[in-house]
Structure 1
């Protein structure tokens, strides 16, 4: 064809340069799972990992929670050397534990210790869903129990942040026993006059909800947190009824009297400091004498 004569043909195919392939580096931007808004990761961090468009609360790690809540350099950890074994010889359990240790930087699904919030000292237990989905095995139950006992011995309040998929199936009945153990020590703590603040985050389910997470003198939760025992589908199949769309969400539980307050993360530190200040003003008077 005549037109082909005037078209210059390239002898070689061009390969895009490396620079032209460069897009947005991984980790710079984040997309909100709820409203799909894209934002800078540093901006998200500035707002405590809460979407400023729709209020979605991203799950945070235990150490991120500590950093945003406690006074600088006030945290002292407890029982860092406690690690899970495999008492039931569950297949591949130890390998999964090792992978979670590498992924999360934790030895277990809860970090315990003591620290200060606006100068008020408190014991803490903060669960982390990055380790075995925050499931409660023997070590998790033991660490929480020891933290409560420390608070009782030193006349401190305790705050527990729950984030859990429930009991840890790889430990069977030993995992379920932690429900009774943590509940029993909280009863002793309460009788001694101790203050327990339970703060439920997304998700708080299964045996954790059925034990210590629901036993607070104050039961708080973050907006939109999934809180419940059995799963939605199981409940619907059991009662043969369709459940409301917001069933088991923090706001639904607040409306039905199962929570004292739903607190956005931006108000977390302020609210906890206020509660601690109210109970600290009484000093040792709140504790029962032996």
Structure 2
């Protein structure tokens, strides 16, 4: 009898073989970089790419951002065919831009167009850091300026989702000129009494943060977004002081008066709707009694 007990097959759990591990489909699961939780990517997308354990906001593509923000089927893109040239003949710039176009399906680092939010018309620009890290080259500045002019012509508010590493070094001074160009376009919008809502997402840095991203009538940001001009290490080396741990985060900027509100992604569309609704007399040209 005792011999029979030891002769029975053991039903212990086995460690999956390397072959079994390889059979798990790639792209099925991901790890949150903040809390290290493992989650299904499908479930993460249902949650608008926000970790349901710690609230970490994962990056989203420009097309995902548009789908989250605008009414379904309302988006009409502007200037989709515009492609950057290589004015300085910068080494490998043309090849890298071509690879980004192939990889992302985008022609540039920003998508512009118009649509509606709960039936209210808006003009929108959404930057995409997958393309040259969302850097601002000549085409980004031109598309932005044209979109702002469309907002002026159609008497609609302009919403910009910024996500950028700053000016595009491969275009040199041509990139830096876009800071003035977009700021001038926004001044025309301001003179017409129209609304500009700037939404800063992770990251918003360099020449973008120093120009149009900070010029909103209302400046919003997503939680924990990195927002600033120069890098933390450069600043510390320059001033020879240790910076606060939360320096250049959305929460730090809100505390010091550089933002109007930090808005979670799930609340962004509703927040934009409320702001636009409050300012509706201004952006429709209807005077209040």
TM-score by length of 2: 0.91
Distance 1:114 1:132 in 2: 24
Structure 2 CA distance for partners of 1:38 and 1:190, relative to 1, 3 Å: same
Separation in structure 1 between the aligned mates of residue 147 and residue 73 of structure 2, nearest angstrom: 19
1:164 paired residue number: 164
Q: Which residue of the partner structure matches residue 144 of structure 1?
A: 144
Structure 1 match to 2:118: 118
SS state of the match for residue 244, structure 1? coil
1:45-194 aligned at under 5 Å gives the runs 45-194=45-194
Structure 1 position 21, deviation (Å): 4.8
Distance 1:21 1:64 in 2: 30
Residue 73 (structure 1) shift: 0.6
Structure 1 stretches of 4+ with a deviation exceeding 3 A read 16-23
Q: Does 1:285 align with 2:286?
A: yes
Partner of 1:10: none
Q: How does 1:32-51 map to 2 (within 5 A)?
A: 32-51=32-51
1:20 shift after superposition: 3.8
Deviation at 1:161, TM superposition (A): 0.3
Q: Deviations over 1:142-176 (max 9, x none)?
A: 00000000000110100000000000000000000
TM-superposed CA distance for 1:285, in Å, is 2.8
1:81 deviates by 1.1
Q: Which residue of 1 aligns with 2:13?
A: none
What SS does the corresponding residue of 1:111 show, helix, strand or coil? strand
Q: Does 1:234 align with 2:239?
A: no
CA shift, 1:68, in A, is: 1.2
Q: Distance in 2 between matches of 1:251 and 1:179?
A: 25
Deviation at 1:101, TM superposition (A): 0.6
Q: Tell me, which stretches of 5 or more residues in structure 2 are unaligned? A: 1-15
SS of aligned partner of 2:199: strand
CA distance in 1, matches of 2:245, 2:129: 24
What is the CA-CA distance between 1:18 and the residue it aligns to? 9.2
1:17, distance to aligned residue in structure 2 (A): 8.8
SS of residue in 2 equivalent to 1:178:
helix
CA–CA separation in structure 2 for the residues paired with 1:168 and 1:30: 31
CA distance in 2, matches of 1:222, 1:179: 23
CA RMSD of aligned residues (A): 1.6
Q: How many residues align?
A: 272
- Residue by residue over 1:217-248, the C-alpha shift from the partner in whole angstroms, topping out at 9 and shown as x without a partner, is 00000000000000000000010000011000
Distance 1:20 1:227, change over 3 A: closer
Cα deviation for residue 286 of structure 1 reads: 6.1
Cα 1:173–1:19 shift into 2, 3 Å: closer
* Corresponding residue number in structure 2 for 1:259: 259
Counterpart residue number, 1:216 = 216
